[in-house]
C-alpha cells in the first residue's frame, strides 16, 4: 500500500494584537495547506475568508470550558442557531471540510448548564457538515467508545470519525500510543501538542513537555495515517515562534518528508522575516 500523506496544520485564533486574517499570511508563506479555526474568526469572517486562498479548514465548535456553551446546551439555542446559520452560509467561502465536536461537558462550565446528547445531535444534523467527535479529558476510553457509537447511530454518515487528541489521553494517565492503536480504524483527524504530566498545556514540541512526540508521530506514519493533523499550540509570546515552526517541521519530517524539504527552503528564504518577528 502506498504511503498516505496527511494534511498538517495548526489552530488559528487571535494572538495578542494579531487577528487570524493576518496570522494566516505567515502560514501560507510556510506552504501550509490546512488550518483549524474556531469562533474567534467570526468578528472578521469576510476578511478572513478572503484571506484563505487555497487553504482548507476545519472548524472547532464552541467549548463549554472556553466559550461557556456548546452545541449541547439547551439554554443557548439562539447562539447555536446563529452559528449554524453562519457556518452554513460561509462553509464554501471558509473552505470547511469538517467540524470538530466534543461530547457534552456540563461539568466543565463555570456556571450550571443544561445539556443533552439529543440536543447536540439535533444541532449537528441541522449544521449538516461532516463531524469528528473528539475524546475529552476525564472520559474513560471505553466510555468514549460507547458515546462514539451512540453518536454514530444518531448521526449516521454525518459522523465522519474520531478526532484523536493525544494529550487528552496522556494527561489522564493513558498511553496515547496504545490508545491510538485501539482507535485507529475510527480516527480521521488528530490533535497534537506537547503537554505536562496532568496538564494539557498546548506546548510546542521540545518545550519541556512529557508526551512522547517522536514515538507518536512514528506510530502515525507506521500505521499509514492519511487524515488531518492539527497542532494545537498556544504560544505565550513571539519568542515561541521558532518552537512553533519547529513543531510543524518535526511533524512534516515524520509524515511528509518531501514537503519537509521544500519547507526548509522556504524557511531559509523567510529567515530575515522570522528573526524580526521572533526578536
Which cell numbers hold the place of 242? 521558532
- How much is the pLDDT for 113? 74
* pLDDT exceeds cutoff 70 at 177: yes
Tens of pLDDT along 138-162? 999 999 999 999 999 999 999 999 9
Confidence of residue 105 (pLDDT cuts 50, 70, 90): confident
Whether residue 11 contacts residue 233, with contact meaning beta carbons closer than 8 Å, is answered with: yes
- How much is the pLDDT for 279? 61
In the predicted model, what is the mean pLDDT of residues 120-132? 99
Confidence of residue 106 (pLDDT cuts 50, 70, 90): confident
Q: How far is CA 193 from CA 78, 108, 111, 138, in A?
A: 33, 21, 28, 18
Mean pLDDT in the chain? 95
In the predicted model, what is the mean pLDDT of residues 65-86? 96
- How much is the pLDDT for 235? 85
- How much is the pLDDT for 61? 99
Confidence of residue 201 (pLDDT cuts 50, 70, 90): very high
- How much is the pLDDT for 63? 95
Tens of pLDDT along 44-62? 999 999 999 999 999 999 9
Which domains does the chain possess?
A: 7-278 (3.20.20.150)
pTM of the model: 0.96
- Taking each continuous run of H as one helix and of E as one strand, the counts in the chain are 11, 10
Q: How far is CA 100 from CA 17, 63, 129, 159, in A?
A: 26, 10, 10, 10
Confidence of residue 110 (pLDDT cuts 50, 70, 90): low
4: left (phi over 0), alpha (psi -120 to 50) or beta: beta
The rounded distance, in Å, linking the Cα atoms of 44 and 190 is 27
C-alpha closest to that of 172 among 133, 131, 147, 142: 142
* pLDDT exceeds cutoff 90 at 74: yes
* Ranges 82-86, 99-103, 203-207: which has the least confidence: 203-207
Whether residue 47 contacts residue 22, with contact meaning beta carbons closer than 8 Å, is answered with: no
More confident residue, 216 or 105: 216
Tens of pLDDT along 221-279? 999 999 999 999 998 888 889 999 999 999 999 999 999 999 999 999 999 988 887 66
- How much is the pLDDT for 236? 83
- How much is the pLDDT for 237? 84
Tens of pLDDT along 205-233? 999 999 999 999 999 999 999 999 999 99
- How much is the pLDDT for 217? 99
Amino acid at each position: 500500500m502506498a504511503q498516505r500523506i496527511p494534511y498538517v496544520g495548526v489552530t488559528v485564533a487571535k494572538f495578542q494584537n494579531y487577528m487570524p486574517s493576518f496570522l494566516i499570511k505567515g502560514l501560507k508563506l510556510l506552504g501550509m495547506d490546512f488550518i483549524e479555526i474556531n469562533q474567534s474568526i467570526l468578528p472578521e469572517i469576510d476578511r478572513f475568508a478572503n484571506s484563505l486562498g487555497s487553504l482548507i479548514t476545519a472548524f472547532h465548535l464552541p467549548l463549554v470550558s472556553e466559550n461557556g456553551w456548546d452545541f449541547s446546551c439547551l439554554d443557548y439555542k439562539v447562539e447555536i442557531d446563529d452559528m449554524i446559520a453562519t457556518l452554513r452560509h460561509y462553509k464554501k467561502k471558509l473552505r470547511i471540510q469538517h467540524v470538530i465536536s466534543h461530547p457534552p461537558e456540563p461539568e466543565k462550565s463555570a456556571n450550571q448548564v443544561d445539556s443533552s446528547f439529543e440536543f447536540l445531535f439535533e444541532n449537528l444534523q441541522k449544521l449538516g457538515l461532516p463531524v469528528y467527535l473528539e475524546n475529552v479529558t476525564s472520559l474513560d476510553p471505553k466510555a468514549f467508545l460507547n458515546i462514539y457509537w451512540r453518536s454514530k447511530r444518531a448521526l449516521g454518515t454525518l459522523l465522519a470519525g474520531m478526532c484523536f487528541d493525544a494529550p487528552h489521553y496522556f494527561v489522564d494517565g493513558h498511553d496515547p500510543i496504545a490508545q491510538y492503536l485501539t482507535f485507529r480504524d475510527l480516527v480521521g483527524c488528530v490533535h497534537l501538542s506537547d503537554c505536562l504530566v496532568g496538564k494539557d498545556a498546548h506546548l510546542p514540541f521540545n518545550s519541556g513537555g512529557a508526551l512522547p512526540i517522536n514515538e507518536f508521530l512514528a506510530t502515525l506514519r507506521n500505521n499509514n495515517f492519511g487524515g488531518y493533523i492539527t497542532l494545537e499550540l498556544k504560544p505565550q509570546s513571539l519568542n515561541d515562534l521558532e518552537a512553533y515552526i519547529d513543531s510543524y517541521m518535526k511533524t512534516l519530517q515524520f509524515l511528509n518528508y518531501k514537503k519537509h524539504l521544500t519547507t526548509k527552503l522556504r524557511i531559509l528564504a523567510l529567515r530575515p522575516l522570522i528573526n524580526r518577528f521572533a526578536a
